[in-house]
Amino acid sequence: MTVKSNLKMELSEAVSKFKQLDETISHYTNVIGLANWDQRTKAPKKGRALFAKSIGALSTEAFKLSISQEMREVLETLTQPENFEQLDQVTQACVRERKATFEKSKTIPSETYQEYVVLMSTANNSWEDARKENDFSLFAPYLEKMVELKKKFAEFYGYEGHPYNALLDEFEPGLTVEKLDPLFKNLRESSINLLKRIQESNYSPRKDIFKLTYDIPSQKAFNKFILPKLGYDLDAGRLDETTHPFALAINTGDVRITTRYLEDNVRSAIFGTIHETGHALYEQGVNPDYEGTVIRRGTSFGIHESQSRFLENMVGRSKEFWTHFYGDLQDHFPTQLSNVPLDDFYRAINLVEPSYIRVEADELTYNLHIMLRYEIEKSLISGEIEVKDLPSVWNSKMEEYFGITPPTNTLGVLQDVHWSQGGFGYFPSYSLGNLYSAQILNTILKEIPDFYALIEKGEFLKIRLWLKENIHQFGKLYTPDELIKKVTGEEPNSAYLVDYLENKYRQIYGI
Ligand code: ZN
C-alpha cells in the first residue's frame, strides 16, 4: 500500500512539474513567434539584425529548458510504461512530443550544432551569390559541407533502413523512404503520363487573361472580401504583406497571414492568400484547451500543407468556387475580365505546363518538381551521388520528368533556398500534403455529398466545421499517421490524388 501511494505521489508530482515546463516553453515559443512575425513584416531594416540576437537569446532559453535535467527526470518518470498508461490522452501526447524533441536535441553535440548554425548563414549568402551569378561552383563547397553535416545528423538521430529516414522524421514523424517510394512511384508515373496526354491534346487554355495588369488596390479589396467568407476569423488574426507569404500562429486567438500583390500576376495574391488561409484555419481551429502545451500546433508539415492545398486547389481552383465568386472578381476588374467567360477563366487558372520553377508550377507538375528533389536528396544523403554531380543530375531528371532542360542553373538546381538552410527532408511534405488533401476530399465527399453545391452557393461553414471536427481541433494530439487513418480509415494512398488529377484535367483538356 505504502509503496503504491509513494509511486502515486511521485507520478502526480512529475505530471505537475512536466506541465509547468511544457507551459513555460510554450510561452517562450509564442513570444519567439511574435518576434519572428515582426522581423518578417514590420521591423525596420536597421533593427532586424540587432533584434535577431534577442530572439536568439530567448530561443536558447527555450531550447535549454527542453533538454534540461529537470525535463530528463520528469520524462524518465512519465515514460515508464506503468506511469504512462495512467496519464490522460492529452498528457500522453504532450509527453510523446517533448520526449521526441528531447531525444533528438540531446544527440547533437553542441559544437556540431554551432558549426551548423554558422554554416547556415554562410551557405545562404553563397547560395544568393551563386544564384545571381548563375555559378553553381560558388555554392558547391558550402553545400558539400551541409550534406556532410546532415549525414552526421542522421547518424546522431539514428534510423532504421535508409539514412534519409532520420531527416524525413523531423518534418513528418514516422515517414520513411520505404513508405514514400511506392506512393511517389505511382504518382510520378501517372503524372508524367497525364502531362504527355495534356501536351498532345489540341486544347490549350487562354494565357492572355493573366498577361494584363491588375491594379493592386483592387486586388487588396478582393482579398479582403473573400477572406472572411472562407471562415478566417479577422478578430483572431490579421493580413499583412511580405515578399514570401506565410502563416504564423501566436496562439489560437492570434493566427496571422501574409500575402503579396503583383500587378502582373493577379493569381499570386488570390491563390497565395487562399493557401495561407488554409494553414490559418487549421491553427484557429485547434482546441483552445491545448493552449500552453506543445500539442497546440498542427501535427506535421504534411498535414498542415494538406489543409492549405485543400483550400487552395480542391476548393479555390474548382469550377464551383468561381461560379460563386467570378462575378465579384469581374466587378473588381471590369476592364480585364468583363468580356472573359467564366469557363475561360476557370480553365486559365488550371493551365498545365512544364516549367522550370517549382513555386510557379501548376497543380499537376508541382509534384514532379518535388519528386525530383526527393530523389536527389535521398541519393545525396546515401552517398550515391555527390554535390558536384548536381547540375547534370538535375537537368537529366528535368528532361525525364518534364521533357525540358533549364537553360541556366539559376533556373534549375539553384532555385530553392531550402538546401542552403539545411532543410533536407522538407520537400516531400509538400507533395505529401497534396496526397493527403485528395484522400481527405474523398472522405468529405462521402460525408458531405453536397460539398460542391455548398461551394457554389458560397457556403463554407459546414465544410470548415467538418475540417475542424475531424482534423483541426486535435492539434498534435495524434501523429500524422494516426490522424490520416482516423479521418480517412486507411493508410496514405496516392490513388486518390492520381484519380483527382486525372478527372480534373480530362474534363478541362477534353482528353
Ligand atoms: Zn503552405
Predicted local distance difference test score (pLDDT) of residue 134: 97
pLDDT digits (tens, 9 = 90+) for 323-380: 999 999 999 999 999 999 999 999 999 999 999 999 989 999 999 999 999 999 999 9
Q: What would the mean pLDDT of 72-89 be, rounded to a whole number?
A: 96
Q: Report the 10 Å Cβ neighbour count for 249.
A: 24
Q: Report the C-alpha gap between 353 and 409 in whole angstroms.
A: 20
CB 478 within 8 A of CB 487: no
Co-location of 310 and 421 in the same domain: yes
CB 484 within 8 A of CB 175: no
How many structural domains compose the chain?
Answer: 2
Co-location of 281 and 364 in the same domain: yes
Q: What would the mean pLDDT of 225-232 be, rounded to a whole number?
A: 96
Co-location of 194 and 137 in the same domain: no
Co-location of 45 and 191 in the same domain: no
23 CA distance to ligand 1 centroid (A)? Answer: 27
In a domain, 422, yes or no: yes
pLDDT at 394 over 90: yes
pTM, entire model: 0.94
Pairing state between β 247-251 and 239-241: unpaired
In a domain, 434, yes or no: yes
Q: What would the mean pLDDT of 87-108 be, rounded to a whole number?
A: 95
Residues with a known catalytic role: 276
Predicted local distance difference test score (pLDDT) of residue 88: 97
pLDDT at 259 over 90: yes
Co-location of 352 and 496 in the same domain: yes
Predicted local distance difference test score (pLDDT) of residue 405: 97
In a domain, 167, yes or no: no
Quick one: pLDDT band at residue 3, thresholds 50, 70, 90? very low
Place of cell 507569404: 245
Q: What would the mean pLDDT of 41-61 be, rounded to a whole number?
A: 89
433 CA distance to ligand 1 centroid (A)? Answer: 9
Co-location of 149 and 182 in the same domain: no
Cα distances (Å, whole numbers) of residue 465 to 3, 286, 376: 48, 12, 39
In a domain, 169, yes or no: no
Classify residue 128 by burial, with Cβ atoms within 10 Å: 0-12, 13-18, 19+: middle
pLDDT at 279 over 50: yes
In a domain, 170, yes or no: no
93 CA distance to ligand 1 centroid (A)? Answer: 25
Helix (H) or strand (E) segment spanning residue 505: helix 495-509
pLDDT digits (tens, 9 = 90+) for 434-448: 999 999 999 999 999
Give percent of the chain above pLDDT 70.
98
Predicted local distance difference test score (pLDDT) of residue 81: 97
User: What is the span of the domain harbouring residue 288?
Assistant: 177-509
Predicted local distance difference test score (pLDDT) of residue 118: 86
Predicted local distance difference test score (pLDDT) of residue 251: 95
pLDDT digits (tens, 9 = 90+) for 147-160: 999 999 999 999 99
Q: Report the C-alpha gap between 493 and 432 in whole angstroms.
A: 10
Selection from 257, 282, 283 nearest residue 272 by Cα: 257
200 CA distance to ligand 1 centroid (A)? Answer: 31
Co-location of 375 and 296 in the same domain: yes
164 CA distance to ligand 1 centroid (A)? Answer: 23
276 CA distance to ligand 1 centroid (A)? Answer: 6
